[in-house]
Structure 1
């Protein structure tokens, strides 16, 4: 039976957070705090990013805002112009919209598209996400593309209404328990969890191992064996 397969983008179709992690590593090296180690500094950054998500959203601009805020927090003073430029330069690569596809993505989407309806659901800055999608050359596989500020239960319910989806034959496919799997399950969709070792720490959450509505796969290419 033809089904609707909704795909996450970042860290499902292409590598994304690994680029952010490299910027953060460079930033912590640049910071060279005299008393706190990298683990302590990273814990502070995680807290700042968590607090900033409702204000700044996601993406490179949000990360930059959090890096500036962290500098001011631990140094108890504003960032000066030179320091701001240096921090911005550390994150310059994130604005290039270069895309490193997960192995087998193009071929897998082509095969699945011949049997099912494919949608894309991604969160973040619209220009940034659209830039990555354009660079990926994957847009033609999807019947519709949805770039949203947040992927929560109301977002999934809105998509169900907008596309008149039958949740009983709709699957959400992604790497994030928090944004892809749990909210999709709450609206009645099934889900496919494909973990990515670089998934952002704020996207982690616990999945119920007894939930038969979640299919766990190791690789993206395994989708063709199930759909």
Structure 2
């Protein structure tokens, strides 16, 4: 009887330990969100803050606020070094900061944006409908050429078209290519892509950004039509 009792107690003890161990791992899984979920949330917050600054903040205050946001973006690239979407948005934030700052002082910032976008492409250029290609292309046609900057219209077109390969219906991809064509005085073709941008699907998770971009598209359409008439 003593032997049987000891065996039963041993089995019960082992079973209890197994239950406790399973419970520990289950609680741990709930307490610690996955890497992807955390990166996605951090990226969403960065995109939301960018849209608020870019479209709802007075122009005179944008450079300072985008400078602070650039530091947050840089911290995310350290936290998620292999996440192409994070690197893409770090490049976008830096590019916006450079645009808001303006002048020669913006050149180091725009070079940092270029480096981030190139790194995103090296990781995975297809993410976010090819946004890294589109953003890099926009830098190449907006930044002055040598000896001041790295601007290059031919490279701009190459990257913009690559972005369109991944995001044929994407609002941003079509808008930036339309703007590039407008700068090249190819007004008829520019209007075609501007119209495509206008009818591109809006991002329901980023209403401020979608509405702000749509406003820019309509402004571009008006400028193009003015040139055509």
Pairwise same-fold verdict (TM > 0.5):
no
Q: Kindly indicate which of the two structures has a greater share of residues assigned to strand.
A: 1
Q: TM-score, normalised by structure 2?
A: 0.31
| Higher RCO (CA 8 Å, separation ≥ 6 residues) | 1
TM-score using structure 1 length: 0.32
- Greater share of residues in helix: 2
